[in-house]
Amino acid sequence: MTTLQTAGQEAAAKVLEKFTSATRHEFRGESTVTVKLEELRAVMEFCRNVLKLNFLIDVSSVDNMGEEPRFMMVYELAKVDDSVHLRVKAAVAEQQADAGEVPTVSDLWATADWHEREVYDMMGIRFSGHPDLRRILMWEGYPYHPLRKEFPLAGRPSEMPDVAFTGEAPMADGPFVTSAGSTSRVQGEPRAR
């Protein structure tokens, strides 16, 4: 076991000690703590202020369409010197996501600002207390959230041809698709064509 793995386990244990309803999961040497949405803000403050996890690597979400709660928020936390890594998860029901019941952490880590905007834009999860929650990739007024599982892979028609094309996006042999069956990873890259 590496020092980084041990440090992550110790950080997870401290979260579990403070928040008894939290659960812990270890996978491939990485520690994950799952907390209730109601405790998420307090857990994140604890991670920042007590555990000194001063680097928010990423904020993302998972769509478990067909299950309840539908979404899972995922936060990747670390120390800047890379001595500790901890993943924090919180389940979010679709109604909670739409109502803005996920608390922002942008005041704890400035990097959360854009990460939360991306989650809002792509998944439709609203963050309470966010200072500027607007779309970051899609245009304002776009009625869909492209990373939700009900969004079709081929995309949706657009009434704004100057902003987005109206045809389906080609997937097979497109400019960003790797070539399957290539003899090496380099030859499989799109830029090798």
Task: Report yes or no on whether pTM surpasses 0.85.
Answer: no
Residue 169 has pLDDT above 80, yes or no: no
How confident is residue 163, by pLDDT bands cut at 50, 70 and 90?
A: low
Residue 158 has pLDDT above 90, yes or no: no
Amino acid at 137: L
Q: What angle do CA 90, 36, 42 make, to 5 degrees?
A: 95
Residue 160 has pLDDT above 80, yes or no: no
CB within 8 A of 168, min separation 6: which ones? 154, 155
Q: What is the pLDDT of residue 166?
A: 47
In this structure, which CATH number among 3.30.460.80, 3.40.50.300, 3.90.850.10, 3.30.230.10 belongs to the domain 3-186? 3.30.460.80
Cα(first)–Cα(last) distance of the chain, in Å? 42
* pLDDT one-digit tens code per residue, 42-70: 999 999 999 999 999 999 999 999 999 99
For the chain, what is the mean pLDDT? 87
Q: What SS3 class is residue 74?
A: strand
Q: What is the pLDDT of residue 73?
A: 98
Query: Of the ranges 21-30, 78-87, 183-192, which one carries the lowest mean pLDDT score?
Result: 183-192
